[in-house]
Amino acid sequence: MNTQTAPLIEVEHVSKIFGSVIALKDISMKVNAGEVMCLLGDNGAGKSTLIKILSGVHQPSEGRYLFEGKEMHFTSPRDALGVGIATVFQDLAMIPLMGISRNFFLGSEPTQGWGPFRRFNVKYADQVTREELAKMGIQVRETTQPVGTLSGGERQSVAIARAVYFGAKVLILDEPTAALGVKEAGVVLRYIAQARSRGLGVIFITHNPHHAYPIGDHFTILNRGSSYGTFAKSEISREELTAMMAGGEALEELSHELAEFARTDEKAAATLAEVAREFGATAEHLHVEQLPPAYEEAERRYDQLPSVDGEGKR
Ligand SMILES: Nc1ncnc2c1ncn2[C@@H]1O[C@H](COP(=O)(O)OP(=O)(O)OP(=O)(O)O)[C@@H](O)[C@H]1O
Ligand SMILES: [Mg+2]
């Protein structure tokens, strides 16, 4: 495969089974350079499990994992980091009592001198930290300020700037805005946009469609280990995204109800076929996996269907 055009990350039919728990089932998705992919889903949907596979913490039970078109078999997060996949976990792996620049270079400290005189090159670290944060529009007063005294949003920003500086191609953020207020979340979203404009592929995990929608180019929605699919922003409205997040259950019920109904009623079958045509599917295929963004239309039509029997029951 041509690596110029291959997505940065691509997974094909990935499943993950923990003992008897199927955490992920047949997930396919990809992320391109210069694009933000939002991974949405309720608690336990499998979001963290998926990004743990992407970041080398877990190995998939089934399926293929490609990075820049080449199949990968990471055995540790170090392997993933080695090719340029940086993950900012929610607990951030920063040391609260240490200063910003010490944290920035944590694990890759620049040194000066040698032997017993080798020491952390404070001046260089401070300068780079200052510059890199400035590139992201963050002005720090003191690079020695303990990270623990930064706001949640600032801490996330330092983690993002660090990943960018150390040459990440893919930035994975597990719920970076979950614990933040509106303004702080906005700041983090802006840094995500900056990482994108610098050509990184970003995977942004969130519960919150209002955080995802303004920033996302594509949206992958997980529900109990399965994927509803990936939607480009042009294919899905904020309302539809919200409804899919909140109403997965209702949606599934509706589609099965519709299918069942169509089997027993001619007029309904015709309506369903018509709706399905608009979705580019057949009525038999109109299951929740294929449910397209315009499902609200289906719901509307369903509401307008005449009742089947005298009791007004459809
Ligand atoms: N190491 C593990 N062993 C067994 N089951 C696991 C393991 N990790 C995750 N699971 C299960 O897999 C499912 C998906 O979990 P996951 O943490 O990926 O969900 P999530 O979408 O990140 O949820 P949240 O929004 O709450 O963070 C859950 O049912 C969870 O209990
Ligand atoms: Mg999680």
Q: pLDDT 10s digit of each residue in the chain, 314 long?
A: 544 578 999 999 999 999 999 999 999 999 999 999 999 988 889 999 999 999 999 999 999 999 999 999 999 888 998 899 998 876 556 777 788 888 888 766 777 777 777 777 888 888 888 888 887 777 788 888 888 887 777 777 888 888 888 889 999 998 877 777 777 778 788 888 888 998 999 999 988 888 899 899 999 999 889 998 899 999 988 888 888 876 555 555 556 666 666 666 676 667 666 666 655 555 554 444 444 444 455 555 555 555 444 443 44
**Ligand 1 atom having least distance to the Cα of 19:** 4
The response to whether residue 216 sits with its C-beta less than 6 Å from ligand 1 reads no
Q: How far apart are CA 17 and CA 59, in angstroms?
A: 10
Q: Whose CA is nearest to atom 30 of ligand 1?
A: 44
**Nearest ligand, CA of residue 221?**
1
The response to whether residue 245 sits with its C-beta less than 6 Å from ligand 1 reads no
The yes or no reply on domain 9-246 and CATH 3.40.50.300 is yes
- Any residues with CB less than 8 A from the CB of 135 and at least 6 apart, and which? 161
The response to whether residue 16 sits with its C-beta less than 6 Å from ligand 1 reads no
The response to whether residue 41 sits with its C-beta less than 6 Å from ligand 1 reads yes
Q: State the DSSP string of 61-80.
A: SEEEEEETTEE----SHHHH
Domain locations in the chain as residue ranges: 9-246, 253-303
With beta carbons less than 8 A apart as the criterion, state whether 14 and 28 touch.
Answer: yes
* 44 CA from centroid of ligand 2 (Å): 7
Q: Whose CA is nearest to atom 16 of ligand 1?
A: 46
What DSSP character marks residue 307? P
Q: How far apart are CA 210 and CA 241, in angstroms?
A: 9
Pocket test for ligand 1, best of 14, 39, 48 (most atoms within 8 A of CB): 48
* 294 CA from centroid of ligand 1 (Å): 30
Q: How far is CA 178 from the centre of its chain?
A: 13
The response to whether residue 47 sits with its C-beta less than 6 Å from ligand 1 reads yes
The response to whether residue 18 sits with its C-beta less than 6 Å from ligand 1 reads yes
Work out whether strand 9-18 and strand 111-112 pair parallel, antiparallel, or are unpaired: unpaired
Q: Which two tokens stand for residue 141?
A: 């007063």
What DSSP character marks residue 115? G
**Ligand 1 atom having least distance to the Cα of 42:** 25
Residue located via tokens 């150390």 = 166
Q: How far apart are CA 297 and CA 301, in angstroms?
A: 6
With beta carbons less than 8 A apart as the criterion, state whether 258 and 273 touch.
Answer: no
Which of 216, 6, 196, 201 minimizes the C-alpha distance to 87? 201
Q: How far apart are CA 305 and CA 299, in angstroms?
A: 10
Report the predicted TM-score, pTM, of the whole model to 2 decimal places: 0.72
